Amino acid sequence: MSVRVVARIRPLLPKELERDAIVTAASTDDGKPPTLVKIPNPKNESEEFSFAFNSVYDHSTTQEQLFTAEVAPHVKALFQGIDVTIFAYGVTGTGKTHTMRGGLKLADRGVIPRLLSSIYRRAKKIMKDSEGQTTVDVSISYYEIYNDKVFDLLEPLEKRLPAGLPLREKDGKTMVVGLSERSCDNLKDLEGLYLHAEKNRATAATKLNAHSSRSHSVLQIKVTQTTGDQVKTSTASAIDLAGSEDNRRTDNGKERLVESAAINKSLFVLSQCIDAISRGDKRIPYRESKMTRILSLGQNNGITIMILNLASLRSYHLDTLSSLNVSSRAKRIEVREIENEVVFKQVPRTASNSGGLSMARQPLR
């Protein structure tokens, strides 16, 4: 299976004008759902470019529709032990955060809150159906990558080390060393934790006189299913990437330029990785940024969904075109869907089980 790439064109906001809208969704055949994005050639407006995606959602798509079509079907796979990664890519102001986090009103909730509640619902069902044989633990980690440094968003700001947290490869996966992980046995606590961390993120950005659209945020939801001595672990990652605009074209102060360089670099490395993979190159430059190491596009054995967010405004023309170019190439990336291995829990040797008595095994389901 390849990376699934879908585009979402946000509606115009109250102050935006219909005549400035230049990006449209289109179908290959009448009656078919849209899979094409059309945009004029900036050098010759009578000409139109067409980009093909697995699916294209226009301004009328609700949060619920997007979740139901693109994310909900993979929750089952997650519980089968397959890792699932969903990431939003696009220019600042195109709806990445709206898509991933969304608003507080029920209908406005984005992918993350819906995914959390869907995971909890399934976990409860599995525990109930197994009549207590299987326990499911759900925990989250949440961090941001800012200037190529990793910061834990579940820890208080005062505890932040200026250098950030290091990465390490373990079992073919990239881990953040020293990252905190919080387990919650109900949805409400977990959502509370997430919202608190979001506040942390905003405060950190304000203190640094920065903007959160300049960092990548990564939420990881780890599902651990234990049946007897068998443990199955899988992770869903929801990533809100920094804005993909080319800051060389915007008027940035000196300080901003240092930031932009690091942000641009990781997004530039991402586009290079996508190109290298779609060309079939042996060498993929993953290691050149922390974000690409973590994302490991095409290297992780799971399901990956890339959501390209688009605003149809003329003022975004060149940046929109470049984001369309990058993401339409990402479709060619193959991902192997492999279940994580079941691990046998080590039973600690205590006085009661060290005397050669074999522990009664729970029946496996």
Minimum Å distance from CB 62 to ligand ADP?
A: 8
* DSSP labels, 140-156: EEEEEEETTEEEESSS-
Does 13 contact ligand ADP by CB under 6 A? Answer: yes
271 binds Mg ion per the rule CB under 5 A: no
Contacts of 68 (CB under 8 A, 6+ apart): none
Q: Give the β-pairing of 4-9 and 302-310.
A: parallel
Spacing of C-alpha 132 from chain mean position:
32
Annotated binding site for ATP: 90-97
**Region 75-94 residues binding Mg ion, contact defined as CB under 5 A:** none
Q: Which is nearer to Mg ion, 212 or 225 (CB)?
A: 212
Single out the segment in contact with ligand ADP by CB under 6 A; choices: 9-17, 130-138, 267-275, 312-320.
9-17
Closest CB to Mg ion among residues 94, 328: 94
Q: Least distance (Å) from ligand ADP to the CB of residue 322?
A: 15
The partner in contact with residue 360, picked from Mg ion, ligand ADP, none with C-beta cut-offs of 5 to 8 angstroms by kind, is none
Chosen residue from 35, 85, 97, 235 binding ligand ADP by CB under 6 A:
97
Contact pick of 2, 117, 213, 325 for Mg ion (by CB under 5 A): 213
Closest to 144 (Cα-Cα) out of 125, 130, 157, 135: 157
Which positions ≥6 away from 119 have C-beta within 8 Å?
75, 78, 138, 221, 223, 236
- Residues 205-237 as b/e (b if ≥16 CB within 10 A, e otherwise) read beeeebebbbbbbbbbbbbbbbbbebbbbbbbb
Identity of the residue, 318 or 343, whose beta carbon is nearer to ligand ADP in the bound complex: 318
Using CB under 6 A as the criterion, which residues of the chain lie in contact with ligand ADP when the complex forms?
A: 10-11, 13, 90, 92-98, 213, 243, 309
